[in-house]
Amino acid sequence: MKRILICIIWCLTAHANAAISVVDDDGNTVVLSHPAQRIITLAPHLTEMMFAVGAGPRIVGTVTYSDFPAEAKRIPLIGDNLHIDLERVAALKPDLLVVWQHGNASRELDALRQLGIPLFYSEPHDLAQIPDTLTRLGRLAGTDAKAQQVADSMRTQLNNLAARYAHRPNVRVFYQVWDKPLYTLNGKHYVSDVIRLCGGENIFAGLTTTAPVVGVEAVLQENPEAIMTGDLRKEENGLALWKAYPRMLAVQRGNLFAFDPDLLVRPGPRIVDGAAAVCEKLDLARSRREPRK
């Protein structure tokens, strides 16, 4: 009996001390000797993700606009997505950096690598990758059970939306990131995945650049049935420019939709709410079609 107890204790100890290994979105293997205790997140959505998987209290530094949940506003700032205070990062003694590969400047990332702190790169391109990222972050933080619960819930909600809107008539959509200059997103961005989920079609899905600049003339030529944006400026959002083109289908039918950017362009758990809002608006656009005679 004594030998059995010793064996059990040894196994538990070995498991507790086992290295943690995950592969990030850049294909790098991130290895930690123990669950991360001092985490720095370098994008607002990554801050949300760490809180979602139960590791929010371990965040010792983050960047501007990391404002959800409310507790995130109390975390010390070490810069923004373009400029990081490397001395401040080093002083905080993190054991894990969670970075947004697309959003963080490459020069800043190169400098962070020199610090020798384990880096996890996040760069989801579709909705399915978001819950997968949650489970990997939970693994790194040692909050596997919580992360799996949140990820499974997110997958279920997304699957329910997909099933509900799978056979709805197609709606051709122009997604507007910004109006000066006029930016959009191609088909490899997760926002396009949201549009597809709702039975829509991104009119510029085929462009090679992730966030290309397009001309007004190109949009007019495509004549989308709906235009949507994550721009919620209080004064006048960027959709106002299209009112000068009343013959455009989206303008004729009043299908100019603005969404909360935090729910749509941050690839975290709340994107489910953003997707539900998009699906509702595309259904509204369908309801505004002229009945067949």
Q: Write the DSSP symbol of residue 76.
A: P
For residue range 115-140, list pLDDT tens digits in order: 888 999 999 989 999 999 999 999 99
Q: Where are the domains of the chain?
A: 10-152, 167-287
User: Which residue from 272, 266, 270, 274 is spatially nearest to 41, judged by alpha carbons?
Assistant: 266
Does the pLDDT of residue 9 top 70, yes or no?
no
List, for residues 60-70, the tens digit of each pLDDT value: 999 999 999 99
Check for a shared fold between 10-152 and 167-287: yes
Determine what percent of the chain is predicted with pLDDT higher than 70.
88
Category of 124 on φ-ψ map: left (φ > 0), alpha (ψ -120 to 50) or beta? beta
In sequence order, which residues have a C-beta less than 8 Å from that of residue 43 and are 6 or more positions away?
Answer: 63, 66, 81, 98, 99, 100, 103, 104, 122
Higher pLDDT, 4 or 149: 149
239 in Cβ contact with 231 (< 8 Å): yes
How far is residue 166 from each of residues 85, 132, 145, 158, 161, measured CA to CA in Å? 46, 23, 31, 12, 8
Q: How many CB atoms lie within 10 A of CB 178?
A: 14
pLDDT in tens, 136-167: 999 999 999 999 999 999 999 999 999 999 89
Q: 10 Å Cβ neighbour count for 137?
A: 28
| Lowest mean pLDDT, pick from 44-53, 62-71, 93-102 | 93-102
Q: Which CATH architecture has domain 10-152?
A: 3-Layer(aba) Sandwich (3.40)
> Residue 259: what pLDDT?
92
Task: Judge whether residue 281 has pLDDT over 90.
Answer: yes
Q: In CATH, what number does 167-287 get?
A: 3.40.50.1980
What are the backbone dihedrals phi and psi of residue 290, each rounded to the nearest 5 degrees, phi first? Answer: -70, 135
Question: Which of 171, 189, 132 has its CA nearest to residue 155?
Answer: 132
Is residue 278 within 8 A of residue 259, CB to CB? The reply is yes
